[in-house]
Amino acid sequence: MKRLWSRLSVLLLFTMPLLLTGCGERYFVLNSAGPVARVERNLIYTSIALTLIVVIPVIVLMFYIIHRFRDKPGNDAPYEPQWSENKTLEIVWWGIPIVIIGILGTLTVRDTFRLVRPPANVTGKPLTVQVTSLNWKWLFQYPEQNIATVNYCAIPTNRPVRFILTSNAPMNSFWVPQLGGQEYTMPGMAMRLWLQADHPGKYFGSGANFSGRGYAHMKFNVVAKPEGGFQQWVNQVKSSAPALTVSGYHDLTKDSVMKETAYSSFPPGSFERIVRQEGGMYMKHKLTEATD
């Protein structure tokens, strides 16, 4: 028994730092910087607390029972080989998980519906960013500003951002943990993800669904700036960056890994064209719904 305990404490030693450092700023998921991520983080904490109601007693009970009912000489614990039914006990452990799942389920349904709408406390008009995953880079197009970027994306703070996502290569998944969650990018389809940043900063983003050889390098930063700074950045890109031409876009679609780049303009309607050419022509309703 002593050996078991010493081994258990070694185990705890290894897991404790993980639990204790949960608030470090490198824990992107827990270090939320926007209302969407906050909803998700709160749900994560609540669900951890609820599941611990079962996990901790199970583990404690297990060690107690092993200790108490070990088959060794002189153990005077009761031995009842025929005792195998107890209605009350069974009702308890059918009941407790049902209650826990009931509570968690209710919260889950509430937040699932909440997150398809733009974040609450909207202070400004939503900004639309059209995102395309290519092999192996991210293309961001700003239809209202008529600028485009590759592998980074600037957004204004305190303003909901409507990301419209597609792919012209294998599926990928657009994930910015600190701003909240991910959504797949799929060829021929346009998906939607609402995100919002509370304060300026650089937020880590990456492709989360495997898409071939260069996939590990599909990382990008989302740079949040105050409204004024954002406008300034737009103007700067407009005045200094080259334009994205049709042949320039064609080059982007080739397999390659790229650095951060910006473009002062892009061919009008190019996002819609990507969606349509990749098969969107077979699902028109989806395209209009997501790009309206």
Partner 1 sequence: MPVDIKNFLTHFFVTGYPLIYGADASIILATVAILFVLTYFKKWKWLWTEWLTTVDHKKIGIMYLIAALLMMFRGGVDAILMRTQLMLPNMHFLGPQHYNEIFTTHGTLMILFVAMPFIFALFNIVVPLQIGARDVAFPYLNAISFWLFFFAALLLNLSFVIGGSPDAGWSSYPPLAGAEFDKGPGENYYLLSLQITGIGSMATGINFLVTILKMRAPGLTLMRLPLFTWSVVGACILIIVSFPALTAALALLLIDRVAGAHFFTMLAGGMPMMYVNLFWIWGHPEVYIVVLPAFGVFSEVVATFSKKRIFGYTSMVASIMVITVISYFVWVHHFFTMGAGPGVNSFFALATMAIAIPTGVKVFNWLFTMYRGRIRITAPMLWTLGFIPNFAIGGATGVLLAVAPADYQYHNSYFLIAHFHQVLIGGTIYGMLAGMYYWWPKMFGHRLSEGLAKHAFWWFNLGFYICFMPQYALGLMGMTRRIYTYPKGLGWGPYNFIATVGAYMMAIGFVLIVANVVYSAFYGERDTTGDIWDARTLEWSLPSPAPHYNFAVIPHVDRRDAWWVMKQERKEGKTTLDLQQEPIRPIHMPNNSGRPFILGVCFFTVGFGFAFSWYALVVLGFLAVAVLLLVRSFEYEDSHYIPVEEIKETEAAYGRL
Span interacting with partner 1, options 25-33, 150-158, 231-239, 264-272, rule CB under 8 A: 25-33
Question: Which one, 143 or 177, has the nearer CB to partner 1?
Answer: 177
Does 49 help bind partner 1 (rule: CB under 8 A)?
no
**Which parts of 56-95 interact with partner 1 (CB under 8 A)?**
58-59, 61-62, 65-66, 69-71, 75, 77-86, 89-90, 93-94
Which residues, at least 6 apart from 90, have a Cβ–Cβ distance to it below 8 Å? Answer: none
Q: Which of 204, 205, 202, 180 is nearest to 193 (CA)?
A: 180
User: At residue 60, what are phi and psi to the nearest 5 degrees?
Assistant: -60, -45
Contact call for residue 258 and partner 1 (CB under 8 A) = no
Pair of tokens at residue 22: 């949960």
Nearer to partner 1, 83 or 239 (CB): 83
Under the criterion CB under 8 A, does residue 196 sit at the interface with partner 1? no
CB of 157 to partner 1, least distance (A): 21
Query: What tokens were used for 96?
Result: 């407790």
Return the residue of 6, 9, 22, 235 that touches partner 1, per CB under 8 A: 22
- Residue among 238 and 286 whose Cβ is closer to partner 1: 286
Nearest CB to partner 1, comparing residues 29 and 241: 29
Binding to partner 1 in span 130-169, by CB under 8 A:
169
Q: What does each C-alpha distance from 167 to 83, 138, 273 come to in angstroms?
A: 61, 9, 12
Q: Encoding tokens for residue 157?
A: 């703070």
| Residue in 187, 224, 252, 270 binding partner 1, rule: CB under 8 A | 187
From CA 214, how far away is CA 255, in angstroms rounded?
Answer: 8
Quickly count: other Cβ atoms within 10 Å of residue 143's Cβ. Answer: 19
Smaller CB separation from partner 1, 84 or 240: 84
For residues 199 to 218, the per-residue mask of contacts with partner 1, x marking binding by CB under 8 A and - elsewhere, is -----x-xxxxxxxxxxx--
Select 90 or 144, whichever has its Cβ closest to partner 1: 90
Q: Give the pairing of strands 152-156 and 219-225.
A: parallel
Q: Should residue 9 be labelled a site residue for partner 1 when binding is judged by CB under 8 A?
A: no
Compute the distance between CA of residue 87 and CA of residue 162 in angstroms, rounded to an integer.
Answer: 53
Smallest CA-to-CA distance from 219 within 261, 254, 257 is with 257
